[in-house]
Amino acid sequence: MNRMLKQYIFSIQLFILLLIAGLAGAQSINGEWNYRFPLEIKPKVSGSFGEIRSNHFHSGLDITTYGKTGLPVFAADDGYVSRIAVSSGGFGKALYIDHPSGYTTVYAHLESFSPVLDSLVLALQYQEESFDINEYLKSGEFTVERGDVVAYSGNSGSSGGPHLHFEVRITEGQKPVDPLAFPTPVKDNVRPHIAGVKIYPLDPGATINGEKEPVYYPAVFYDGAFHLKHSPDIKATGTIGVGIEVLDYYTGSWRKCGVHSIGLKVNEDLAFSSVMDGFFFHDTRFVNSHIDYSDKMTSGRTIQKSFVDPYNQIDLYEFNAQRGKIDLEPGKDFQFDYLVKDISGNSSSLRFSVEGDQFLASGTGAEASPVFIDAGAPFSYEEANHSVSMEKGTFYEDVRGAIGVRESFISESGTVFSIFDKTIPVHNGFEIRFPLPDSIETKGLCGAVLDGNLKPQYAGGSVDGSEFVINSRLCGDFLLVRDSVAPLLYLKNPPVDNNYSNRDKMVVRMEDDFSGVTQFAGYINDQWALFEYDAKNNELICVFDRVPFLERGVHQLKIEVTDNAGNEELLETGFTY
């Protein structure tokens, strides 16, 4: 065999080896990882990956535990515990396991951890004298094997009922992906449900059936597909966009979930598609651009737009040259075809037509408004010594509306600073400044924003010299109020004479009527003791066997609490254990 032929064969062999290695590497991230399902019950999904939540896409799979807590939670595969977190909100008690496959699994809203992990958590809490912990571990410090019981299901954090929140993330970058993209025992043979579509006029001359406002059309199902109810005649002019209201169900579950993909073709050409394969956490707030935020805030409907705002940067989409918008031509029919799929491959379709209408000049164009914001540039505004400052990219598209100061008898400053309204979504926080009169008392001073019932809701803020500064990610009517009421503390259902000898825990009610609790600490005989904070139920819970130094006898309890306005409250009492 000559030298050139040998080199050629060697090159081919090397190429094959490299290809195999490359495929093996890709397999660890994109292949069919066959993990163990984390619960040993009939799986029932109550929340799907990527579904629309308030200000975020849902990053995992919610698995109902049928109203029960304390079910064993199993490690999905071999690996090591990379992080343990405990908090009163969010995920509550959560466990993170890194696997050799290149994935991280997350188990959240837990009731407790396995005994060994629980001992570690308890030690960390006493070491830091804090209920909240967030501990990162290194490879080899705490290894687990596939099927190990690592925790027990619960209802901790901001959970609305007993369930396990389960995530699969690509370890590098911690990017969540759909747990159901891998083989699982979850069954789903239910097609997505299309509730309706909404058509939007998107330029000054655009109209929908002669009107300049968006129009919603409900959908019905028959003959194997969805159709617009009563088959309406739709005529439109100018540039339009379309949105779809859609939800999904899983077999045996009535819980409304999200879909995996939405595709829209216009006259058989791709106009828009979105595929929820995964997303980064720093992009999750783009959900407010993904949906019709104004409709969500006013009607409660969740309409997913099939056109993309200029400053929506999440990587979910493919679209035409107009980012999903459609330029209509007078006298021409445009056929719109939606195809919606869930992660299991069940699909639903909807077809409707829009006729391009003759353009009618409006004469006045868009209604004039006092303030215009170019979303691609910084913005500042000042009036009567009140100011607002916004960075580039605060909004998803250019915004036109009203900003101004008016008098108010309920505001400590005597003014309300209106910055557009609640229907406009905000991506990056902006800064609002109120002037403070020399005579004003700053103790307990808080920022607030008026809700739909014109009731002030806490908006944070702090004094900065002669000004009060609020940082907000909401538009609305801002004002200054005073919170001078300390949190309320009392024992919940205490035994006679506070004799807890026959009880395993003590519960303290902790209530605050405005700014909310920011700090708390519990002491028994002047030693820090662990009190778990159940924020959604306003309770501090001391489980006696989690206080290592507690012995039988008479003890002194002290609870210290501070709210966000700086008001402090102290509860002191004796008890017997």
CB 494 within 8 A of CB 540: no
Residues 73 and 93: their CA atoms lie apart, in Å, by 13
The residues that bridge with 52 in the sheet, in sequence order, are 57
Predicted TM-score (pTM) of the model is 0.91
**Alpha-carbon radius of gyration of the chain:** 29
What residue ranges in 238-313 does DSSP mark as E strands? 239-247, 261-266, 269-275, 304-305
Q: Which CATH superfamily is domain 45-181 in?
A: Glucose Permease (Domain IIA) (2.70.70.10)
> Which CATH code for domain 371-482?
2.60.220.30
pLDDT of residue 539: 97
Return per-residue pLDDT of the chain as tens, 577 residues. Answer: 444 333 433 343 333 333 333 333 333 445 579 999 999 999 999 999 999 999 999 999 999 999 999 999 999 999 999 999 999 999 999 999 999 999 999 999 999 999 999 999 999 999 999 999 999 999 999 999 999 999 999 999 999 999 999 999 999 999 999 999 999 999 999 999 999 999 999 999 999 999 999 999 999 999 999 999 999 999 999 999 999 999 999 998 889 999 999 999 999 999 999 999 999 999 999 999 999 999 999 999 999 999 999 999 999 999 999 999 999 999 999 999 999 999 999 999 999 999 999 876 554 444 556 899 999 999 999 999 999 999 999 999 999 999 999 999 999 999 999 999 999 999 999 999 999 988 899 999 999 999 989 999 999 999 999 999 999 999 999 999 999 999 999 999 999 999 999 999 999 999 999 999 999 999 999 999 999 999 999 999 999 999 999 999 999 999 999 999 999 999 999 999 9
Report which of 374, 379, 380, 474 is spatially closest to residue 422, judged by C-alpha positions. Answer: 474
Residues 105 and 168: their CA atoms lie apart, in Å, by 5
pLDDT of residue 32: 79
488-576: CATH architecture:
Sandwich (2.60)
Per-domain residue ranges of the chain: 1-31, 45-181, 193-356, 371-482, 488-576
Residues 445 and 567: their CA atoms lie apart, in Å, by 11
Report which of 470, 484, 471 is spatially closest to residue 436, judged by C-alpha positions. Answer: 470
Residue 229 to residues 262, 306, 336, 347: CA-CA distances in angstroms? 20, 20, 15, 20
pLDDT of residue 358: 85
